[in-house]
Amino acid sequence: MKLNRKKGVVIEAVVAIAIVITSSVIVVNLLSSSFDESKTYDNLNKAKESMSFIDSVIRELAVEAPGARRTINILSDFGTFSVDGESDSIKFFMESPVSIIESGTSVQEGNLIMTSGPTMSAYERDVDNDGITDLVLENEAVLFAMKKIGSPSNITSINTTSIFTMIRNKRANVNITPITYIYVDDMLNTSTGNGFTELSEKGTSIQSASIRVYVNSSGTKEYDAVFTLRSAQDFAELEIKNIKDK
């Protein structure tokens, strides 16, 4: 199986599909808890006002001179703000028992995207009990695990044919261990070299997370392979990026 700089390819049960979010897109995620309906709509409107304000500040800074900055204070007792560097977005999570948006769908209002549905987790654990720590992305449908290899400050030997630990279809209770190559420009020697793997973030109740595979192949190419799992999807997405000739 070949992966090149233009596209990702299905890896066993994993389908590659890209979703692009611009730097000013803001996400409001609605989960489920115990607020009454009127309180939920009130909190939603407050969240939209806060996120729209942040968006306006970002747009002002985008047209100002380099180094321009702002200090803003945002307080909330009904949800959580977070910054997602992987998608260049600011997110606000709140819980809701009412069906404002159908689960698994999204609604866009200007630069504001509101999504509803389940969440996922990203963590480190030895999922196959082989004594090697794995990087794990997991939601209700899929568990996607890859070996933890080196770190940005500890570049070590890496072979993309043996980095996968497990892909588990949780609904069918089926495990597979993919054997594949990641290489660019039809050059098989770009599948090995020195590098590392790392999680984009760790946590629970998040909307998406990625595993970055950095490869500095033997005298030819340098690149990142980024595998992303999102909360409401039963597949992982693959992007080959930052390709450099050596």
- Segment 87-140, tens digit of pLDDT: 567 878 777 666 666 665 667 788 887 777 677 889 999 999 999 999 999 998
Could you tell me if 112 and 167 lie in one domain? no
Residues of the domain holding 170:
120-245
* pLDDT of 3 over the 90 cut: no
- Is residue 78 within 8 Å of residue 142, measured between CB atoms? no
Q: In 10 A of CB 30, how many CB atoms?
A: 25
Provide the 3-class DSSP secondary structure of residue 178. coil
Structure tokens at 113: 């995207």
User: pTM for this structure?
Assistant: 0.59
Domain final position from 97, 116, 135: 116
Contacts 24+ apart (CB under 8 A), 37-40: 37/97, 37/98, 40/96, 40/97, 40/98, 40/100
Could you tell me if 112 and 152 lie in one domain? no
Q: Is residue 15 part of a domain?
A: no
Could you tell me if 66 and 52 lie in one domain? yes
In single-letter form, the type of residue at position 132 comes to I
Could you tell me if 80 and 178 lie in one domain? no
Could you tell me if 221 and 142 lie in one domain? yes
* pLDDT of 153 over the 90 cut: yes
Q: Is residue 14 part of a domain?
A: no
In single-letter form, the type of residue at position 240 comes to I
Q: Domain tally for the chain?
A: 2
